[in-house]
Amino acid sequence: MMDAPRWCEEFDLVEGNTLRLPSRARWLVHAATAQQVVAVVDESRARNLELWVLGEGSNVVLPPRLETVVLHSIDERIEADAGRHDCVDVRVGAGVHWDRLVHWAAERGLWGIENLAYIPGSAGAAPVQNIGAYGQELAGTCLRVEAVERSSGRIQTLERDECGFGYRDSRFRREPTGWVITALELRLSRAGCPVLDYPGIAATLAELNLVGDVPMDMVRAITMLRRRKLPDPQSLPNAGSFFKNPVVSEAEFRRLHADHPELPGTVVPEGVKLSAAWMIDRCGWRGLRRGGVGVAPSHALVLVHYGGADGSELLALADDIRTSVRQRFGVELEQEPLVPQSR
């Protein structure tokens, strides 16, 4: 018989978010299976309580108080099928720590997610913002997502095409009260080749005396690159990139480039992707500290919490950064971490 999910009252979430912002939830519920998620969705509806899904809290700005039910997956199963000569399909529970999955795959010589090494967070959160780094993104390997549809309380399987993946975006992000992701299915390749295009990868491999012909080489190099560039949330609490890289039209890029010839721009199908970090840096924000919050000294895209602040102080800083980038470059920045709404 299925155990009932565990409901904890007045749960302290300071350890449950990588910004270490003070936050307390009216209810926290751990769910180990999709059936348990259905039970929580049904019970929340019956009790007229709002629901918020929290993974490892690496991409959220929590308010001091959440009157909602906070649902947290503890499904940590990784299950591979028998595989074919060239690929293996892997079912990953929403509660699996993402970097554990990256290592699991690389240790078995499986390609497809090695450049996504050392990204904080859970597998269940990965499709929400279609995590991406160093030339790979989740959408490249994701076959389908299993999720509970909150309106019907039914377990559904959404094929990749139904997930609406985009740059740091998906249907799950656009429909924040629509779904609770319970598992992913990825197709990993036995015979992949390394993605080496992103600046710094080749040099880091060389520095480590690695060739990059096995996925684990890539995991080692990417982990070192990220460790050097991005502050470790354990020592300086943060939520990774705080803004998306904005995409503008080619005409807009030409205008910006005339005034700022060094502004990095990458051509993407939708236009030209600009570097938010570069613009924030040029506005003088990198390393700046204001009260208990600030901008990381090593990377202008990362806002940090030195301690003693709450979510509203961080959001006020983010607002000021957005305003100065708008005034100086005429470009609008979109925030990446989600902000749960509470009554």
Active site residues: 168, 241, 336
Nearest one of 283, 115, 285 to 188, comparing CA atoms: 115
Q: Is 247 in the site for ligand EPU (CB under 6 A)?
A: no
Q: Please list every residue from 17 through 56 that binds ligand EPU, using CB under 6 A.
A: none
**Residue count at the site for ligand EPU (CB under 6 A)?**
18
CA dist 67 and 299 (Å) reads 34
Indicate which single residue of 274, 300, 304, 325 sits in contact with ligand EPU (rule: CB under 6 A).
300
The CB-nearest residue to ligand EPU is: 240
CA dist list (Å): 128 to 121, 142, 144, 187, 223? 11, 12, 13, 18, 22
Q: Binder to ligand EPU among 264, 288, 306, 310 (CB under 6 A)?
A: 264
Nearest distance from C-beta of residue 280 to ligand EPU, angstroms = 7
Nearer to ligand EPU, 95 or 121 (CB): 121
State in angstroms the smallest separation of the CB of 227 from ligand EPU: 12
Q: Does 278 bind ligand EPU (CB under 6 A)?
A: yes
Q: Any contact of residue 240 with ligand EPU (CB under 6 A)?
A: yes
CB 222, min distance to ligand EPU, A: 9
Q: For residues 203-232, which are near ligand EPU according to CB under 6 A?
A: 229-230
Q: Which of 245, 248, 214 has its CA nearest to residue 330?
A: 248
Give least dist CB 207 to ligand EPU, A: 17
User: Of 134, 165, 172, 253, which lies in the binding site for ligand EPU, with binding defined by CB under 6 A?
Assistant: 134
Which span sits near ligand EPU by CB under 6 A: 47-55, 85-93, 204-212, 296-304? 296-304
**Contact call for residue 301 and ligand EPU (CB under 6 A):** yes
Binding site for ligand EPU (CB under 6 A): 133-134, 198, 229-230, 240-241, 244-245, 264, 275, 277-278, 281, 286, 299-301
